[in-house]
Amino acid sequence: MTALLLETRGLGMRFGGVQAVRDVDFRLAERELRCLIGPNGAGKSTFFKLLTGQLQPTSGEVLLRGENISRQPPHQIARRGIGIKTQAPTVFEGLSVRENLWLSAARVARGRQAGAIVEDMLERVGVGEVAGRIVGELAHGQRQWVELGVVLATDPDLVLLDEPAAGMTDKEVLRTADLVREINKTKALIVVEHDMQFIRMIAGKVTVFNQGAVLVEDNVEAILNNPTVRDVYLGKQAAA
């Protein structure tokens, strides 16, 4: 069995009267690829925010390789090797693609080495031809890839992708799926997506969230044939 990279125990997040995340026990092994699905408002993005330290859990804990990171500030957690591509792209809009990648690479390398990482990333995510352009001016798909490059440049062990295929053309979706599979060769990933085709392309185990809690965890085909999951998406099921 591969070592456990990420674990959450009884993780919960409460905002005022709303329990956005409820008693979540989640486990992810090194280099494992997990898809996270669920209807809107199920708590997926909140879950990500808890993992990256943008939110502090109101109950439970997050363990990275056995170490409790629940109370640490985001920049410290990032240094431990968690990278996240957010739902709405979080990039340095006013700077060029190259500058974006450089800022990321600069956190783990100096001078020439940083430059090498930048060039490598430009190629890997396929934005070499727009390297000098301002990110804010790029098309949506390209911005997503730039953000992916920015996330990968620091070489994190765990990559969180929040809707990486959103708003992309079919061709771009295929490319993104390839990228995800390639990244998975060396890193663990948790991918939040709504696009079932995309999920089928990258396969792996799927965790279904509903109303802040884990509904069911299984492999792709089983999930897609699971009537409870279908009902949840169509709104027929109330709280599990």
Map residues 38-57 to x or -, x wherever contact with another protein holds by CB under 8 A.
--------------x-x---
Nearest distance from residue 232's CB to another protein, in Å? 30
Out of 26, 47, 92, 233, point to the residue binding another protein (CB under 8 A). 92
Stretch binding another protein (CB under 8 A), from 82-90, 118-126, 170-178, 198-206: 82-90
Using only the alpha carbons of the chain, give its radius of gyration: 18
Asked if residue 91 binds another protein (CB under 8 A), the reply is yes
Asked if residue 73 binds another protein (CB under 8 A), the reply is yes
Q: How far apart are CA 115 and CA 104, in angstroms?
A: 11
Out of 150, 152, 166, 214, point to the residue binding another protein (CB under 8 A). 150
Out of 103, 196, 201, 203, point to the residue binding another protein (CB under 8 A). 103
Between 93 and 129, name the residue whose CB sits nearer to another protein: 93
Residue 85 in contact with residue 143, Cβ under 8 Å? no
Percent helix, strand, coil in the chain, to 5, is 40, 30, 35
Asked if residue 216 binds another protein (CB under 8 A), the reply is no
- Give the CA angle between residues 88, 116, 134 to the nearest 5°: 40
Helix and strand counts by DSSP (H, E) for the chain: 9, 10
Between 140 and 200, name the residue whose CB sits nearer to another protein: 140
Nearest distance from residue 70's CB to another protein, in Å? 17
Stretch binding another protein (CB under 8 A), from 59-67, 102-110, 165-173, 185-193: 102-110
Which stretch of DSSP H or E encloses residue 6?
strand 4-15
Q: How far apart are CA 37 and CA 18, in angstroms?
A: 20
Distances (CA, A) of 164 to 1, 56, 84, 154, 178: 29, 24, 11, 18, 12
Report the largest interatomic distance among the alpha carbons of the chain, rounded to a whole angstrom.
57
Q: How many residues bind another protein (CB under 8 A)?
A: 26
Out of 2, 90, 169, 186, point to the residue binding another protein (CB under 8 A). 90
Stretch binding another protein (CB under 8 A), from 35-43, 62-70, 77-85, 123-131: 77-85
Asked if residue 63 binds another protein (CB under 8 A), the reply is no
Contacts of 97 (CB under 8 A, 6+ apart): 122, 127, 130, 131, 132, 133, 135, 138, 146, 149
Place of tokens 């089983």: 222
Out of 10, 68, 79, 116, point to the residue binding another protein (CB under 8 A). 79
Asked if residue 104 binds another protein (CB under 8 A), the reply is yes
Stretch binding another protein (CB under 8 A), from 58-66, 67-75, 178-186, 228-236: 67-75
